[in-house]
Structure 1
Amino acid sequence: MSMELDEFTQAMARVPGPVAVATTVDAEGRRWGFTGSSFSSLSLSPPLVLICLDKGASTHRAFVSAERFMINILAEEQAGLARRFATSGVDRFAAGGVEPLELGLPGIPEAAARVACTLHQVLDGGDHSILVGRVEAVHVGDRSPLVYCDRSFLGLVAPHAAERAAAR
């Protein structure tokens, strides 16, 4: 194959993606979380979503053995939270902003949306694991989502929730 890995990485950086913080609690009650931009809906029936997690991440073991997890789709003003949950070697929960929400999972109250899941399946995805979650609870906020593209956070230009509702 003549493709260079660096070129592939550059090309994939051009694909806009949602910014999400995934959270869970292990059997000992310890909270875990990471920032991910490889998040997507997968199925409507049953309702399934997926998020990808590097197999070398410090959070990997906690998530692949979790019974449940939450996907917090960050709002456009939450780039600081995204950075905090992407930083290694720190207590990502110490600065606050996370509390028990749907299904008792750690959630971000001001997120653009939250999706609480039971772990449905873990699939091999090369150097990542693909966590498939069966959606058990959803909360839709009124903020526009944060997007990651070309190695930068972007606010998504989207109508406010009230404008969306009035347009229906």
Structure 2
Amino acid sequence: MIDTPTIDPRTLRGVLGRFATGVVVVTTRTDDGLAIGMTVNSFCSVSLEPPLVLFCVSRASQLHPLFTGASHFAVNVLSEAQRKVSLSFARPGRDRFKDLTPDTGRLGAPVLPDALAVVECTRASIVEAGDHDIVIGRVVAMSADEQGLPDPLVFYGGAYRRLDPQHADWWTAFA
């Protein structure tokens, strides 16, 4: 057996907080039709063929059984202008839509107005991972804001941050 050092969770959180992430709100509906959603920054692309994405949900969250049991969900990519939406969906409780009137996506999940992009998925699988579960979804529909490139909502070092477009280095990896 290999002896591994004890990793302090607060230190780990601080170190991992050095990785900048986008912010999304994942939404679905309960069996009785209630719209639910939560702010997530553990979202990423998994595969292009087949088209798969993932997000993580804490097993301690009251929303955990609703998201891991949902047959479908929508991932709403937030813009800088949607900080209040992010904060609203990050707070405890289930009634997070009280100030919003969402659209309904192709699969029935709530879709937030003015999202930069929306990725609609059917649940492909759930993977246990420590104190979280990884929800993998198969992409079945998607859309993106066609009005240029509004600033995304970015999280880094425990705080929302802004990108500086003045220092953007526009390049294409596949050019």
Task: Please confirm whether the aligned pair reaches a TM-score higher than 0.5, indicating the same fold.
Answer: yes
Match of residue 78, structure 2, among 47, 69, 74 = 74
Query: How many pairs does the alignment contain?
Result: 162
Match of residue 30, structure 2, among 20, 26, 29 = 26
Q: Which amino acid aligns with 1:3?
A: I
Shift in Å at residue 102 of structure 1?
Answer: 3.4
Shift in Å at residue 125 of structure 1?
Answer: 1.1
TM-score by length of 2: 0.86
Shift in Å at residue 91 of structure 1?
Answer: 1.3
Q: Which residue of 2 aligns with 1:163?
A: none
- Correspondence 1:92 to 2:102: no
Change (3 A) 1:103 1:144: farther
Distance in 2 between the 1:156 and 1:80 partners? 18
The structure whose Rg is larger is 2
Contact 2:30/2:70 (CA < 8 Å) preserved in 1?
A: yes
Q: Which amino acid aligns with 1:128?
A: H
Contact 1:19/1:35 (CA < 8 Å) preserved in 2?
A: yes
Match of residue 124, structure 2, among 104, 108, 120 = 120
TM-score by length of 1: 0.89
Change (3 A) 1:105 1:90: closer
Q: Which residue of 1 aligns with 2:154?
A: 147
* Stretch of structure 1 that moved more, 136-145 or 34-43: 136-145
Distance in 2 between the 1:136 and 1:66 partners? 15
Identity, in percent, stands at 34
Considering only aligned residues, what root-mean-square deviation do their CA atoms show, in Å?
A: 2.0
* Stretch of structure 1 that moved more, 63-72 or 91-100: 91-100
Distance in 2 between the 1:55 and 1:155 partners? 30
Contact 1:54/1:127 (CA < 8 Å) preserved in 2?
A: yes
